[in-house]
Structure 1
Amino acid sequence: GKANESTFQNDIIKQLIANGWLLGQPSGYNRKLALYEEDLLGFVQETQPEQWQKYGKLYPQNPEQHFLERVAAQLSKA
């Protein structure tokens, strides 16, 4: 029943964390876009700083929000 499902879910989470997965906080999750905004933006800005600078010049009005919406739109196509 429900108790077994919860135990199974917790075991999966423990295994994922043990292998390097980061557990997100619900408060950082954007349900509308289905993304952890801070994680996605941090990853792109840290790993691709030059491209991020170019992107910011293309979309000077709130590049972060534009990028998040663009990624979410692409992911929803899959």
Structure 2
Amino acid sequence: MFFIKRKGKRIPIEDPIYTTCPMCGVEHPVDLVDITLQTDGDLENVQVFCERCTEKRALARAGANRGKEVQTNE
């Protein structure tokens, strides 16, 4: 269980948990357990992009890598 402490009292963190996309600023829900597992528990510097920006970034990376394909002469 995750919780925050305020004035010595445990306050549970309940679903849904939200974050802000660092690219567009939209608030979106996140799965804290998945993020914790993927980051080895380091949540301080985590940035979670929304679905739309994740797709944009993937397309941009694919486009940037398209020109870097290795060609071999057979």
What is the TM-score of this pair, normalised by structure 2?
A: 0.29
Q: From the CA coordinates, give the structure whose radius of gyration is larger.
A: 2
Q: Which has the higher helix share?
A: 1
